[in-house]
Amino acid sequence: MENTSFAKETAAVNTEFLSLNPSTLEVIGEVENTSADEIDRKIKNAKIAQKQWSARSDAERKEILLKVAEALQQNSKHLAEWITREQGKPLSGPGSNFEMQACVGWTQVPASLDLPEEVVFEDDTRKDILYRKPIGVVAAIAPWNWPLMIAIWQIIPSLRMGNTVILKPSEYTTFSTLEMIKVINSVLPENVLQVVTGRGEVGSYLTGHPEIGKVMFTGSIATGKKVIEASAKNMARLTLECGGNDAGIILPGLDLSKHIENLFWGAFLNMGQTCACLKRLYVHENDYENVVKALSDYSANIPMGNGADENNVLGPIQNKMQFDKIQDLLNDAENNNADFLFKGQKPDQDGYFIPITLIGNVDNGSRIVDEEQFGPVLPIIKYKTLEDAVEKANDSENGLGASVWGDELEEAQKIAAQLEAGTVWINQHGAINPFVPFGGAKKSGYGVEFGVEGLKAVTIPKVISIKK
């Protein structure tokens, strides 16, 4: 890949980026910036390939994508090792082998679903048929937390519906993504799926390109807004998943013994670096001590360390930027007299490790509660009444997910109905499913992924209206 400057639209970007193993700080490689000329060339090839790809029958595309799923399955061990090396999540537990199984599932399901034409109106005078047409070239901007799985969420539905895709992985997780793209491209025709690499500027050039018809973005609200600005140039359609600051409410008197494992992983999946992790927990004041004790006891037994060691199920923070951000929030909590209710063991080695940390004596208005910490830190906030808990849970600019934990289903559903979020889980958190639409309310983004709704999002509706 060339490394020339972005003379056309952006400032020169010549500094390469080093991808590191976050457990050991070993250098994996130098990530090059794809040049603007190279991006132009790739988009031109993607446009040509899109004509041929969309001309294939739906059944043919389905069959090819099911073969992609098989290839991912066959290479899942190798790719999981790459994820662990570069992203950091452990091989074991809900880690990189789990991420690879999700990649396989999220390929099989969109490949298998159907979105047939639909007669939306018919009477004696006319018949109106709704068809779903591909948009063209899709730019996929993937983040570093679930680098392969989220890239798959963006790529596979787009391809299924006849688009071609240009993916930009996060600079932090480029090499593992390139390994996966090699596997996928061993099945796909040429130029149906291409990759550009480098820093955010590369993503910026790609998303603002006049020939891009759709952007699938997962990342921060700040960058999501830049993608919206870029779309003013090309009017690209957008699906934006901009993270969350998900609240969980434990209803009074919950039998914790049944829920503690789900509660733990709801908050600490991927060391909390998950868009739909539980990031604020609201607990009735009478239950507070019990919840803190149960979560502390459970957390004390979860081993953290280099994810390549299969004994570990918790790993490092993925990168220094995120490590510093979490550390800053912890310092702020400490300076504002927060209680450090529990602090887990931190492995004695290099790497961006932050122990599981439970924090009390904080409330809405504390930075650790109001800001998405995206790390293994959980503020636990007391409430007196459920009205108070709901109000505090909704007091956020985010609205991706939320959860209610209760033994009485009807009561839990009543509270779930009042929460402002794209998904409210009951007695689980972050339990996404490839058949079930997933998207955010408020500043968590717009558009949905997964299921038939996710397929619709990468198409243009086209009506043919016939006079009778």
Q: Catalytic amino acids?
A: 241, 275
Judged by CB, which is closer to ligand NDP: 389, or 432?
432
Choose which of 110, 162, 213, 243 interacts with ligand NDP (CB under 6 A). 243
Closest by Cα among 173, 165, 196 to 6 = 196
Can residue 106 be called a binding residue for ligand NDP (CB under 6 A)?
Answer: no
Using CB under 6 A, which of the segments 93-101, 136-144, 294-302, 341-349 binds ligand NDP?
Answer: 136-144
Query: HSE on the CB side for 311, CA within 13 Å?
Result: 4
Identify the helix (H) or strand (E) that includes residue 242: none
Q: How far is the CB of 319 from ligand NDP (least distance, A)?
A: 8
Virtual torsion, Cα 368, 371, 376, 380, nearest 10 deg = 50
Identify the helix (H) or strand (E) that includes residue 122: strand 118-122
Q: How far is the CB of 154 from ligand NDP (least distance, A)?
A: 11
Q: How far is the CB of 371 from ligand NDP (least distance, A)?
A: 8
Q: How far is the CB of 208 from ligand NDP (least distance, A)?
A: 8
Can residue 226 be called a binding residue for ligand NDP (CB under 6 A)?
Answer: yes
Q: How far is the CB of 440 from ligand NDP (least distance, A)?
A: 9
Q: Which runs of consecutive H residues, i.e. helices, occur in 186-318?
A: 200-207, 221-234, 260-268, 288-299
- List all residues 6 or more positions away from 307 whose beta carbon is below 8 Å from its beta carbon: 23, 84, 88, 89, 90, 91, 92, 95, 96, 315, 316
Contact 295, 263 (CB under 8 A): yes
Closest by Cα among 315, 267, 268 to 88 = 315
Using CB under 6 A, which of the segments 33-41, 61-69, 236-244, 255-263 binds ligand NDP?
Answer: 236-244
DSSP 31-63: EPPPPHHHHHHHHHHHHHHHHHHHHS-HHHHHH
Judged by CB, which is closer to ligand NDP: 325, or 343?
325
Q: How far is the CB of 207 from ligand NDP (least distance, A)?
A: 5
Choose which of 200, 252, 303, 355 interacts with ligand NDP (CB under 6 A). 200
Beta bridge partners of 146: none
Can residue 170 be called a binding residue for ligand NDP (CB under 6 A)?
Answer: yes
For residue 224, is it left (φ>0), alpha (ψ between -120 and 50) or beta?
alpha
Q: How far is the CB of 436 from ligand NDP (least distance, A)?
A: 17
Question: How many of the chain's residues bind ligand NDP (CB under 6 A)?
Answer: 28
Q: How far is the CB of 277 from ligand NDP (least distance, A)?
A: 9
Judged by CB, which is closer to ligand NDP: 173, or 427?
173
Compute the distance between CA of residue 329 and CA of residue 358 in angstroms, rounded to an integer. 13
Can residue 370 be called a binding residue for ligand NDP (CB under 6 A)?
Answer: no
Can residue 372 be called a binding residue for ligand NDP (CB under 6 A)?
Answer: yes
Q: How far is the CB of 18 from ligand NDP (least distance, A)?
A: 12
Judged by CB, which is closer to ligand NDP: 59, or 232?
232
Can residue 203 be called a binding residue for ligand NDP (CB under 6 A)?
Answer: yes
Judged by CB, which is closer to ligand NDP: 241, or 287?
241
Cβ-based neighbour number of residue 384 at 10 Å: 10
Choose which of 220, 296, 345, 364 interacts with ligand NDP (CB under 6 A). 220
Choose which of 374, 383, 425, 438 interacts with ligand NDP (CB under 6 A). 374
Can residue 141 be called a binding residue for ligand NDP (CB under 6 A)?
Answer: yes
Q: What angle is formed at CA 212 by the lines to CA 151 and CA 14, rounded to 5 degrees?
A: 75
Can residue 83 be called a binding residue for ligand NDP (CB under 6 A)?
Answer: no
Compute the distance between CA of residue 299 and CA of residue 310 in angstroms, rounded to an integer. 18
First to last CA, the chain: 57
Can residue 227 be called a binding residue for ligand NDP (CB under 6 A)?
Answer: yes
State how far Cα 377 lies from the chain centre. 19
Using CB under 6 A, which of the segments 129-137, 238-246, 404-412, 454-462 binds ligand NDP?
Answer: 238-246
What mask, x for binding ligand NDP by CB under 6 A, covers residues 305 to 334?
-----------------x--x---------
Using CB under 6 A, which of the segments 118-126, 240-248, 304-312, 446-454 binds ligand NDP?
Answer: 240-248
Compute the distance between CA of residue 86 and CA of residue 28 in angstroms, rounded to an integer. 7
Q: Directed axis angle between helix 174-185 and helix 147-160, to 10°?
A: 30
Can residue 423 be called a binding residue for ligand NDP (CB under 6 A)?
Answer: no
Choose which of 19, 145, 306, 357 interacts with ligand NDP (CB under 6 A). 145
Q: Which residue has the tokens 């994810």?
A: 307
For residue 442, is it left (φ>0), alpha (ψ between -120 and 50) or beta?
left
Using CB under 6 A, which of the segments 19-27, 56-64, 114-122, 137-145 binds ligand NDP?
Answer: 137-145
Compute the distance between CA of residue 24 and CA of residue 218 in angstroms, rounded to an integer. 27
Can residue 367 be called a binding residue for ligand NDP (CB under 6 A)?
Answer: no
Residues that bind ligand NDP (CB under 6 A): 141-145, 168, 170-172, 199-200, 203-204, 207, 218-220, 223, 226-227, 241-243, 275, 322, 325, 372, 374
